[in-house]
Amino acid sequence: MSTYINVLPSLERETYLRLYQCMLKIRLTEERLTEIYPSDEIQSPIHLCIGQEAVSAGVCLALEPTDHLYGTYRSHGIYIAKGGDLKKFFAELYGKETGCSRGKGGSMHLAAPEVGLMACSAIVASTIPVATGDALASQMQKNNRVVVAFFGDGAVDEGVFFESVNFAVLKKLPIIYVCENNHYAIHSKVSDRHKQTELYRFGESLGLSGFRFDGNNVRTVYASMLDAVRQVRAGGEPLMLEYMTYRLYEHVGPGRDHHEAYRDPMKLRQALHNDPLEIIGNEMRAVLNIDELTLEQYAKSIRREIDEAVEFAKASPFPGPDQLVEDVYAT
Ligand SMILES: Cc1ncc(C[n+]2csc(CCOP(=O)(O)OP(=O)(O)O)c2C)c(N)n1
Ligand SMILES: [Mg+2]
């Protein structure tokens, strides 16, 4: 039987609210993208994390701005949650030179080093060894920084995951491997790829301790991550945390593909009843006694911020020919 931990701590009101507002910002930003996308104004492919916001928010809010985080092509959530600038986010997706990667990376290559989001990549598992190297640097520099490698369930299918984990465990690096298990790598489910489906146990034979948590309750994610960060910062062993969640939109693009055969209808129904934003929204009403009007005001203020960011992106220039080979590391 799998260990599936569901800690539900009570949180301070301010933290609770921050987690909610962060998740709402991710959801509203991505919903805006689904509205813009059919216009073709955004040419970058987009991999939405709608349905997975609790993982992004809980993981990032448990980190200090000086802690480093590495992600994948599905990183809108962690970019926003780690505190990335929304104007630079939209400008990047519009391919503009004011974007966070100067318009050359698009949605799959977000970065906000000023708040600790160091790099994201389209190549599955490719940021795991980079994060591990960064943790080695942190250890050598004794800077008290914790590094997080954030990846999907598909990344543990790659050999480099094991090589990185082996090194991290051997050197006792200050790193946390966070696996966001949304059940699928594109259309292929975990159980079609592995006999052992408890991914948090993948590093066990190398000496990596792992734990699996409910990834749709942000309190669970936040509390478990906070605990892991404390342990690792205090000089503990590297850890792996697996968060169980569900992708509600298609693998890539702005649509829903609920009718597609790869989705188990029962699992989908369960996931639709387990929307992380609804869970925390209900808690806002029931536990914090926040009324509908106040919740709507939060949404309104975020929508205003999104409007401004979209306007900024549209008004920004594309990179000129003089920038063709600038910031490009491969030839
Ligand atoms: C090394 C490599 N192999 C294959 C691909 C093609 N590919 C793109 S996304 C993806 C699935 C990855 O799934 P997962 O890690 O679970 O992330 P999710 O999309 O579910 O967030 C694959 C195989 C790739 N980008 N890189
Ligand atoms: Mg996946």
How many whole angstroms from 52 Cα to the centroid of ligand 2? 11
What does the CA dihedral 292, 296, 299, 300 come to, rounded to 10 degrees? -170
Is this structure's pTM higher than 0.85?
A: yes
How many whole angstroms from 242 Cα to the centroid of ligand 2? 12
How many Å apart are CA 191 and CA 253, to the nearest integer?
A: 25
Mean pLDDT of 284-312: 97
Q: What percent of the chain stands above pLDDT 90?
A: 94
Instruction: Report the SS3 class of residue 238.
Output: coil
Residue 75 in domain: yes
How many whole angstroms from 190 Cα to the centroid of ligand 2? 8
Residue 70 CB contacts under 8 Å (≥ 6 apart), including other chains: 118, 119, 120, 127, 128, 130, 131, 134, 147, 148, 149, 150
Judged against a pLDDT cut of 50, whether residue 274 lies above it is answered with yes
Residue 267 in domain: yes
Judged against a pLDDT cut of 70, whether residue 330 lies above it is answered with no
Q: How confident is the model at residue 325 (pLDDT cuts 50, 70, 90)?
A: confident
Q: How confident is the model at residue 9 (pLDDT cuts 50, 70, 90)?
A: confident
Mutate to test the pocket of ligand 1, among 59, 70, 76, 124 (most ligand atoms within 8 A of CB): 124
Judged against a pLDDT cut of 90, whether residue 112 lies above it is answered with yes
Judged against a pLDDT cut of 70, whether residue 68 lies above it is answered with yes
Listed residue (196, 206, 197, 268) closest to 237, CA to CA: 206
List the residue whose alpha carbon is closest to atom 7 of ligand 1: 124
Which residue has better confidence, 3 or 183? 183
Indicate which CATH number applies to the domain containing 88.
3.40.50.970
| 49 CA: nearest ligand 1 atom | 21
Question: What lines the ligand 1 site, CB under 6 Å?
Answer: 74, 122-124, 152-155, 182, 184-186, 251
pLDDT at 5: 63
Which residue has better confidence, 148 or 11? 148
Residue 168 in domain: yes
Mean pLDDT of 30-57: 98
Judged against a pLDDT cut of 80, whether residue 275 lies above it is answered with yes
- Let me know: does 68 contact 145? Beta carbons within 8 Å: yes
How many Å apart are CA 210 and CA 200, to the nearest integer?
A: 5
Mean pLDDT of 82-96: 98
How many whole angstroms from 207 Cα to the centroid of ligand 1? 26
| 47 CA: nearest ligand 1 atom | 19
Q: What percent of the chain stands above pLDDT 70?
A: 97
How many whole angstroms from 74 Cα to the centroid of ligand 1? 10
pLDDT at 266: 96
How many Å apart are CA 58 and CA 54, to the nearest integer?
A: 6
For the chain, the domain total comes to 1
Mean pLDDT of 164-174: 98
How many whole angstroms from 180 Cα to the centroid of ligand 2? 7
| Residue numbers of the domain that contains 298 | 13-316
pLDDT at 82: 98
| 151 CA: nearest ligand 1 atom | 15
Residue 207 in domain: yes
Q: How confident is the model at residue 138 (pLDDT cuts 50, 70, 90)?
A: very high
Ligand closest to CA 183: 2
Judged against a pLDDT cut of 50, whether residue 133 lies above it is answered with yes
pLDDT at 1: 32
Instruction: Report the SS3 class of residue 177.
Output: strand
- Let me know: does 63 contact 278? Beta carbons within 8 Å: no
Angle at 245 between CA 31 and CA 292, to 5 degrees: 50
Mutate to test the pocket of ligand 1, among 47, 55, 184, 186 (most ligand atoms within 8 A of CB): 186
* Mean pLDDT for all residues in the chain: 96
Residue 114 in domain: yes
Q: How confident is the model at residue 85 (pLDDT cuts 50, 70, 90)?
A: very high
Q: How confident is the model at residue 8 (pLDDT cuts 50, 70, 90)?
A: confident
Cα–Cα distance list, 198 to 15, 58, 73, 234, 271 (Å): 30, 21, 23, 27, 19
pLDDT at 329: 75
Ligand closest to CA 244: 2
Residue 5 in domain: no
Residue 8 in domain: no
How many whole angstroms from 87 Cα to the centroid of ligand 1? 27
Residue 1 in domain: no
